[in-house]
Each structure stands twice: as structure tokens, then as C-alpha cells.
Amino acid sequence: MAYYFDEPSRTFSEYLLVPGYSSAQCIPANVSLKTPVVKYRKGEEPALTMNIPMVSAIMQAVSGEKMAVALAQQGGISFIYGSQSIADEAAMVARVKSCKAGFVRSDSNIRPDQTMADILELKARTGHSTMAVTDDGTAEGKLLGIVTGRDYRVTRMDPATKVETFMTPFDKLIYAKEGVTLKEANNIIWDHKLNSLPVIDDNQRLLYMVFRKDYDSHKENPLELLDSHKRYVVGAGINTRDYAERVPALVEAGVDVLCIDSSEGFSEWQKMTIEWIRGRYGDSVKVGAGNVVDREGFRFLAECGADFIKVGIGGGSICITREQKGIGRGQATALIEVAAARDEYFRETGVYIPVCSDGGIVHDYHVTLALAMGADFIMLGRYFSRFDESPTNKVTIGGSYMKEYWGEGSARARNWQRYDMGGDSKLSFVEGVDSYVPYAGSLKDNVGMTLSKVRSTMCNCGALSIPELQKNAKITLVSATSIVEGGAHDVVLKDSNNTVK
């Protein structure tokens, strides 16, 4: 006879936090959102932590290199999507790792034999007015000069004018050599009143650009997540098919943490993948696993050696696994059970394995609820897909700006490896949709607003850290009627089409 759970599976919207005692110290400025990413033993420090409890999903429509840099600047981690060639994914990781804090890989480059028309086209595409002129037009080419908006006049010059005729040539440039520190580079910029400083190697090949504006950005992002070499921290997704080739390439590229991207983690395929990584690299390569929705799934992956475990099946906004296959579990219920299993495992073994809640986040307060229910960090797809930094197109739909967003199980992504059940290498049926989400602007502004709400709510609960929130939070189920009561009701709302006099 099938096993029946006693309670229905519930979503975050069915719960509310109940305020607790707040001391005079409970102000948002005092709240720490630092959280472990990988497992550690009691009394030890984890090898990798984040300054905010947010990671971006392993999706084509979410986690490219721009997202990785932007999220690391705010203190979180992006997991570069694995549904691409091994070479392309490794190259993405390498480009993120080449961006030391303040040292930027040039993404606006041009050859000297190109024209002012090419300059204008490149500026329109990238939005950058400072361009490196290299012998081959790449970011790694031999630096021959620099072009800025001050070097040409659109109204007075022929669009066919060659770049080499109006660029600032190399012999007139102020530059720095490989090995310069960020402090030294910024001092050169300030001493010479520069807007940018190229950094080159001994062969005159361009390595980085350091910009005056990034000095302020660095100061404005005190939570940025850096490795020991002052490079941004980045993760990457892998699958259970080509890990023997993909993992070495990603490790060589400098990836900080891996995650098996799978719709269902309670399987021998994941065990085999983790065992291969441990056999090849020991504990030096960190790898998360999942997804699971109950105690058994957690225990299985814990004993396999996962560094963190993802929770959630079918709760994503573009996921239709439950609709297609009738499998999954309400995200809140799944998280509560898995977090309890995590704590039980910690008491038994002294090993703490962080839990990542993946899916089901609709409102900002759901993030705080997920943390209170035991999540160490949250993986978000739709949330991050709305921002400038996601790799998708911004389009106009019905007069409103939208961003494209599609699931890894959609026909568009065709990421059959994520839904692999050991059969043919193809996507038999879709488990995700192709959609649009409202465009929301920059990542920094939106993440800042979300985390302001999280910190404020934590103060209402009398907690100044995520462990304190998990220990002290009081959570209540809410009825359908009280959910209605929680929003605006029994009033006539003002809007552009309804003016109340």
C-alpha cells in the first residue's frame, strides 16, 4: 500500500511570522545575513560563506557572466548554467574569475582598421564610451590605443574615418603593468586625472581596465564576495552525464563551487557523480546536490558526500513538473522536513550541511520565511531573470517592458540532462514553459530592497542573524480568509484610471 503523508503539503503563502521581542539592538543596520554555503564540522569554519543568502538559479535565462559579477558584488553567488557546451561554460567561469574586484576585463574592443561607424555601433550595443584598440579587436590583444568620446565628433567627421587616425596611441597612454595592486592603480588614476587605466603584460597584451567610477562602486559594495585573490566568487552547474569532462574544465577555469543541476536528486546518478568528484579531487572541490523534498532524500545525499543540498520539486514559476508528472511537494512543507533532517544529521555526526531552498518564492517576505524555516540560502530564478544583468532580451509586450524567461525543461532550453532518467539523450516531454516576466531594472537596487525587508522582518522577530532567526522565529499557519485580510481590502484604491475626489 502506498505511503500517505498525514498533512497536506503547504506553500510559503500559507504562513506568517509572528513578532517576537525586539531589543534596542534590533535595528536593520545590525543584522548580519552571512551564511554558510558548504558543509563544515562543529567548531570549524565553513570553507565558503556568503554575505547574503541568495544565489541565482542554474538557468540559461538567469545566470550568465554579467549576473555572476553583479551578484558577487552584492555578496551572493551565481551558478553559471550548464546547459551549454563544456568549453562555453568553462569560458564563462574563466571570464568571471578574470574580473578581480576593480580589475575589469574589457568588453568593448575594436581594431585600428575599423571605422568611426563601428565605434558608434559598438557604443550603442554595450553602452560604453571607452574602448580599447587592440591588434585583433579582442580583450586579450596587443594594446595599440584607446578611444573615448573625446576623440571624435560625430557631426564633424566622416563615419568611414579609420580608428587609427583619431585614437590616443599607445605611446601617449598612461598604463600599468601586470601585478599592480588596485590601490596603486587607483592612485595612478587620481594622480593623472584619468577616467580609466589599462593594465598590460610584458608583451603589451591587454589584461584589464581599471575605471575611476569603479572606485566608488567598490566602496559602495562592502559585502562583495571575493576569493583569496580578490576575484569574484562564482559557481557552476554540472549534470550526471558528462561530469568526467565538465568538472575538470570548470575546476581549471577557477570555479569556486559546483552544483548538480537535476530535477530529482534522490538517485544513484547523483551518488555516482559525487563519488567520482571525491575520488578525483577529495574535498577540495565543493559540490552541492539535489533536488529533494523529504528526510530520506536529504539523508541519501548527505551520506553521498554533498556539500549542500537543494530542496524543491515543481515549485518554480516556470516549472510544470507537478502538472506533467504529478510529482513534487509544497515548498514550505518540503523545506521544513529537510531542515529538520539537516539538524538531526548535525546532532548525530557533528557535520552541518547547508540547505538551499529552490523554488516557490513569489514575494520578498517568502525569503524571510524560508530562512526562518531552516534554509541557509535561497536559489532564485524568476526573481533574477527580471534584471538588466540577466542574459535575456528586454522586449515590449502590451506597452510594458518585459524580460524573456524560460525553464530548463522547456523546448527552448532542451536541457534533457536536468531531467535525465538514464534513457535516450533527448527531451521526451517538456517540464518547463517559455514566458515573460516584468522588467525590474538593476540587480543592485532590487536586491537591496529585498534584503532591507528581510532585515526589517528579522528585527521584528528579535533576530540579528540567520541562526538566531531559525532558533527564535514563531511561525503560524493562516486561513484563506486571513490571507485576504493581509492585503489591501475594503477600500477603493487610487490608480491612474480611478481618481478618488
Query: CA 454 to CA 368: how far, in whole Å?
Result: 6
Contacts of 345 (CB under 8 A, 6+ apart): 298, 299, 302, 351, 353
Query: CA 433 to CA 320: how far, in whole Å?
Result: 7
Query: CA 310 to CA 301: how far, in whole Å?
Result: 10
What is the Cβ-side half-sphere exposure of residue 88, based on CA atoms within 13 angstroms? Answer: 7
Query: CA 450 to CA 442: how far, in whole Å?
Result: 13
Residue with cell 529537510: 338
Contacts of 397 (CB under 8 A, 6+ apart): 436
Tally the residues of the chain: 501
Cis-peptide, bond into residue 291, ω within 30° of zero: yes
DSSP-derived secondary structure for 437-478: EE--B-HHHHHHHHHHHHHHHHHHTT-SSHHHHHHH-EEEE-
Query: CA 104 to CA 234: how far, in whole Å?
Result: 15
Element (H, E) at 253: helix 243-253
Residue type, 114: Q
What is the Cβ-side half-sphere exposure of residue 17, based on CA atoms within 13 angstroms? Answer: 26
Residue 423 corresponds to which cell in the numbers above? 534513457
- What's 112's DSSP letter? T
Residue type, 249: A
Query: CA 236 to CA 90: how far, in whole Å?
Result: 9
Query: CA 397 to CA 411: how far, in whole Å?
Result: 22
Active site residues: 319, 418
Backbone phi, psi, residue 212, to 5°: -55, -40
Residue 375 corresponds to which cell in the numbers above? 534554509
Closest to 56 measured CA to CA, from 87, 84, 81, 79: 79
Helix 86-97 and helix 65-74: axis angle, to 10°? 40
CB count within 10 Å of CB 429 equals: 10
Query: CA 109 to CA 444: how far, in whole Å?
Result: 26
Contact call for residues 78 and 447 (beta carbons, < 8 A):
no
Query: CA 175 to CA 318: how far, in whole Å?
Result: 48
